[in-house]
């Protein structure tokens, strides 16, 4: 393994890509510590100390702590993710976007351009809402987070946050084009793992102070390793549907006659269902932070406190629902069956056309259910750990799913460069299969 990592720096192109990616990630992390003008950061930190179980806590997880510090990268890359999801969802119902998706490279460029426009609009709206929210909060009596509120602060915050998001989007595109791995995914990845060292130091301090036993700590470490291994296996799991293409004689050449397969992933939807579900589940606590004196809202939100049985059941149910919903949007068995029929391909024992699409849909539904249930269990695990062991369990839920998926995808690209130049990859048997987010 060490020799494999050494081979990375022997290939000039791969070495330049890796170093370029690291340089961009360093720039992103530095920008995450530059504060936005006009904000009392000490008062803001004091206010957000109790906001970990709200939608703000979820948002801050994806931006590497920049939201709680109100830095120039406070919005992170999430407006771009939101715009991409919206464009993708609209692509299944809007005929114009459907035509663009079928136009190849030119259509993809136009969709990318529309996604950028949507990113600017969403970032501006979120920045304005964040500015209004920052003006309304106080860390204590007479301790305002924004000492000088007004239209000037709002405009400056909108300009700063929106520019920061656009710059991050540009950084991600540069990584994808000139670096290694998917740039947007790596930016989220580095924001999440930036918290891991602090989490490890906290666990060491708990163990040294005697507040946690050695056996409990060993159990937590073993559980962390087991969860990572299980996520890797499920993420790489595929159901291969055999496809046969008949021989075709064109002139003096013979085409086709090959046997291939359709790889159906157990986790087609990726981490999107968990992000949607967490946004919905954190909505009650977030509304309480805006309207703290509304008694009925406080009573309603108490049923959705993380760690309760109601929270776990509802959260897992929403994840399973969104897993099927998003899979149905991004994967169309009817189009796949039609393309196979046009090219003369067929599944052995299944008639081409409608029967093929029904068969693919039935197989996809059967493999999606266990995958959705597994990821729902992984997502609920951190709240179980916090309620049973009183520990901030960072190595579970959305964070570990993103980290594992992005790591596999990046390692897959590195291995492709190594194998292409006749170097040994990371695995002697098989190949690393990544997962696009």
Cβ 402 vs Cβ 278: under 8 Å: no
- The three-point CA angle 389-394-398 to 5° equals 120
Question: Helix or strand or coil: residue 275?
Answer: helix
- CATH code of the domain made up of 1-194: 1.10.3370.10
- The torsion defined by the Cα of 21, 27, 33 and 38, in degrees rounded to 10, comes to -130
- Predicted TM-score (pTM) of the model is 0.77
Q: How confident is the model at residue 389 (pLDDT cuts 50, 70, 90)?
A: low
DSSP state of 241: E
Q: How confident is the model at residue 290 (pLDDT cuts 50, 70, 90)?
A: low
CB contact set of 153 (below 8 Å; sequence gap of 6+): 38, 131, 135, 146
Give the pLDDT mean for 23-39: 89
38 vs 287, higher pLDDT:
38
- CATH code of the domain made up of 207-395: 1.10.3370.10
Mean pLDDT for all residues in the chain? 79
- Give the separation between CA 327 and CA 270, rounded to whole angstroms: 9
Q: Phi, psi (5° rounding) for residue 66? A: -75, -25
Cβ 206 vs Cβ 225: under 8 Å: no
- Residue pLDDT, tens place only, 103-146: 777 888 898 899 999 999 988 988 888 888 888 777 666 677 88
Give the pLDDT mean for 410-414: 82
Bridge pairing between strands 253-256 and 247-250: antiparallel
Residue 437 has pLDDT above 50, yes or no: no
User: What pLDDT was estimated at residue 58?
Assistant: 61
Cβ neighbours around 324 below 10 Å, total: 17
Q: Write out the two tokens for 116.
A: 């950028």
Q: Report domain extents, the chain.
A: 1-194, 207-395
Residue of 63, 78, 153 lying closest to 119 (CA atoms): 78
Taken in order 219, 225, 227, 229, is the CA torsion positive or negative? negative
Q: How confident is the model at residue 159 (pLDDT cuts 50, 70, 90)?
A: very high
Residue 20 has pLDDT above 90, yes or no: yes
User: What pLDDT was estimated at residue 170?
Assistant: 93
Residue of 56, 69, 58, 59 lying closest to 29 (CA atoms): 69
Q: Measuring CA to CA, how many Å separate 31 from each of 45, 63, 74, 163, 191? A: 18, 11, 10, 12, 12
Residue of 350, 287, 343, 282 lying closest to 318 (CA atoms): 282
Give the pLDDT mean for 319-323: 88
Cβ 276 vs Cβ 322: under 8 Å: yes
Give the pLDDT mean for 87-92: 79
CB contact set of 425 (below 8 Å; sequence gap of 6+): 4, 415, 418, 419, 431, 432
- Give the separation between CA 236 and CA 224, rounded to whole angstroms: 18
207-395 matches 1-194 in CATH topology: yes
User: What pLDDT was estimated at residue 392?
Assistant: 55
């Amino acid at each position: 393994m060490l020799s494999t990592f050494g081979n990375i720096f022997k290939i000039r192109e791969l070495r330049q890509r890796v170093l370029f990616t690291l340089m961009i990630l360093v720039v992103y992390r530095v920008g995450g510590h530059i504060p936005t003008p006009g904000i009392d950061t000490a008062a803001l930190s004091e206010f957000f100390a109790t906001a970990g179980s709200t939608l703000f806590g979820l948002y801050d997880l994806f931006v590497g702590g920049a939201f709680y510090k109100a830095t120039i990268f406070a919005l992170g890359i999430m407006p771009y993710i939101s715009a991409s999801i919206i464009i993708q969802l609209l692509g299944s119902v809007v005929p114009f976007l459907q035509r663009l998706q079928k136009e190849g490279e030119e259509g993809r460029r136009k969709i990318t351009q529309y996604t950028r426009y949507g990113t600017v609009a969403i970032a501006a709206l979120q920045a304005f809402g964040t500015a209004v929210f920052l003006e309304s909060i106080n860390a204590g009596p007479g301790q305002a987070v924004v000492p000088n509120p007004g239209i000037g602060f709002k405009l400056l915050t909108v300009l700063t946050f929106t520019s920061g998001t656009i710059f991050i989007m540009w950084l991600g595109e540069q990584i994808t084009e000139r670096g290694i791995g998917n740039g947007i995914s790596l930016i989220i990845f580095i924001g999440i793992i930036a918290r891991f060292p602090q989490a490890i130091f906290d666990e060491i301090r708990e163990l040294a102070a005697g507040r946690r036993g050695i056996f409990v700590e060993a159990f937590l470490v073993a559980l962390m390793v087991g969860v990572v291994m299980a996520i890797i296996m499920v993420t790489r799991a595929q159901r291969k549907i055999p496809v046969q293409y008949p021989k075709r004689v064109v002139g003096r050449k013979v085409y086709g006659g090959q046997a291939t397969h359709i790889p159906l992933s157990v986790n087609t939807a990726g981490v999107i269902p968990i992000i949607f579900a967490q946004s919905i589940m954190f909505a009650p606590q977030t509304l309480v932070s805006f309207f703290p004196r509304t008694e009925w809202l406080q009573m309603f939100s108490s049923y959705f406190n993380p760690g309760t049985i109601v929270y776990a059941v509802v959260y897992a149910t929403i994840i399973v629902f969104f897993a099927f919903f998003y899979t149905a949007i991004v994967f169309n068995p009817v189009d796949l069956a039609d393309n196979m029929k046009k090219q003369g391909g067929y599944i052995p024992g299944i008639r081409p056309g409608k029967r093929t699409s029904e068969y693919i849909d039935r197989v996809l539904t059967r493999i999606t259910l266990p995958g959705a249930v597994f990821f729902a269990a992984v997502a609920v695990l951190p709240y179980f750990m916090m309620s049973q062991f009183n520990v901030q369990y960072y190595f579970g839920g959305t964070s570990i799913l993103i980290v594992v998926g992005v790591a596999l995808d990046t390692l897959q690209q590195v291995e492709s460069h190594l194998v292409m130049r006749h170097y040994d990859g990371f695995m002697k048997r098989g190949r690393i299969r990544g997962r696009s987010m």
